[in-house]
Amino acid sequence: MFTGFTDETIRFFLDLKFHNNTEYFHQEHDRYVEEVQQVFYAMIEDLAPDMLKIDPQMEVRPHKCLSRIHRDTRFTRDKSPYRDHLWYLFRHAAEPREKSLFYYFEAGPDRLGWGMGFWDENREALDLFRKRMRANPEGTLALLDDLDLPRRKMILGGTAHKKMPVPPEIPERLKRWYLAKDFYIFKENPDYKMIYSDKILKEVRRDFKALAPLYRLLRGYVDELG
């Protein structure tokens, strides 16, 4: 059962940041498993039943959801072998990460966030979403309004098409959504203190459930493209 991240979890990340080498990590591996990996696993396991209700095909096995602590340094100047934060994703099992639709959560000493969106640009799925906006702008607005994102302090992130024309039937409040080039909704400036109790689990669970109608709509487009 997840009861919150601990001082030891955050301290491990800070220690690893300043001793980012293989010898240190191997020496502290058991500490990593107990204070970091198992804590993230517990949170994933507590959320798993809710995620399967949102999408029965969701991958919820903790070892498949949690990111690796090891960094891929092949294409970056930063050759630090380990991350100083972790994240997990809920997405379809065995689906390629590129263009996949997912829920995410990430935490570390200097970051905390969660939300839902596409891993990378997915022009085809978003074109289908734009088609829906053109066909039914008021219905699309009603769906987005029901998410109640402002009250949840969640906002639309990503970049926008700069030269894409916006049809006249698209209301002003839909234009940012219509022009989305890549797409994710994220929690804006969450209270970091929540990380130390089960309040973080309750907040993430509420937000993930609230985003379910939009997730299912977008998931339908991804499946349609096959």
46 located within any domain: yes
Look up the pTM and report it: 0.95
pLDDT 10s digits, 50-109: 999 999 999 999 999 999 999 987 878 878 899 999 999 999 998 888 889 999 999 999
pLDDT recorded at residue 195? 97
Rounded mean pLDDT, 103-124: 96
116 located within any domain: yes
Model confidence band, residue 115 (pLDDT cutoffs 50, 70, 90): very high
201 located within any domain: yes
pLDDT recorded at residue 197? 97
Rounded mean pLDDT, 166-179: 97
pLDDT recorded at residue 226? 81
Mean pLDDT (the chain) is 95
pLDDT recorded at residue 94? 87
pLDDT recorded at residue 73? 79
Q: What is the CATH number of the domain that holds 147?
A: 3.30.930.20
User: Could you tell me the two tokens for 62?
Assistant: 């903790």
pLDDT recorded at residue 77? 81
pLDDT over 90 at 218, yes or no: yes
1 located within any domain: no
pLDDT recorded at residue 70? 93
2 located within any domain: no
Model confidence band, residue 153 (pLDDT cutoffs 50, 70, 90): very high
Count of structural domains within the chain: 1
172 located within any domain: yes
Domain hosting residue 133, numbered range: 7-225
Question: DSSP per residue over the chain, as a string?
Answer: ------HHHHHHHHHHHHS-SHHHHHHTHHHHIIIIIHHHHHHHHHHHHHHHHH-TTB---HHHHBPPSB---TT-S---SB-SSEEEEE-BTT--STT-EEEEEEEETTEEEEEEEESS--HHHHHHHHHHHHH-HHHHHHHHHHHTHHHHTEEEES-B-SS----TTS-HHHHHHHTBSS-EEEE-S--GGGGGSTHHHHHHHHHHHHTHHHHHHHHHHHHHH-
pLDDT recorded at residue 154? 97
59 located within any domain: yes
215 located within any domain: yes
pLDDT recorded at residue 199? 97
